[in-house]
Amino acid sequence: MRREPRPIADLVGGAIDQACRRRGFASSELVMLWPELVGADVAEGCRPEKIVWPRRRGDGADGDPAILVVAADGPTALVLTHAGPQFVERINAYLGWRAIGRIRIEQTYHRPAPPPVAAPPLLTEAGAAAVARAAAGIADGGLRQAVERLGRAVLSTCHPAPPPDFPSDPASPSSDRIPAAGRGHPVHRGVPQ
């Protein structure tokens, strides 16, 4: 019998909740909703690390509220210092009770480095010459420019090495401008030949 697909959150939710409980969180909700509770710009520079719960003083006595430990970078630590009471109110309003009394800041957070942006491959001089040769016979200026842009885009992304010179085929008048399949060029999926 075939099973229905399940969201990943259902599969890993228990493991995440367990890891959060070891750090004093009742569940992963506070960690997951952190950007909504403090704002995306503040959440970018900090993350909640753990909740330190005070020891109970008696059987029926209500305990003091906990301390939320937040790892933050320098500028965000300054924001948390000044706006900490507002954030505590928002968190407690979300939780529905006075769980957090204050925020303790640990200035240890390092923002993750943004993923490197790959530079677009450059078109070599030989590739530019091949594009110019391929578009040379087109009389319409706009169409010629479009073909040149297309040729530059294809050669700069698909063929980082300079394209080989194509031998002229006297049977075809355009064979010196347009390469045919089977002449040493890779066949691209989804592109008609």
What the chain holds in terms of domains, given with CATH numbers, is 13-106 (3.30.300), 119-186 (no CATH)
Residue 5 in this model has a pLDDT that exceeds 50: yes
Average pLDDT, the chain: 75
pTM > 0.85: no
Please write the tens of the pLDDT for every residue from 99-124: 899 999 998 867 677 778 776 667 78
pLDDT digits (tens, 9 = 90+) for 42-56: 999 999 998 888 876
Q: Percent of the chain at pLDDT above 90?
A: 25
Residues 6+ apart with CB under 8 A from 119: none
Q: What gap in Å lies between CA 60 and CA 85, rounded to an integer?
A: 28
- Structure-token pair, residue 19: 């890891």
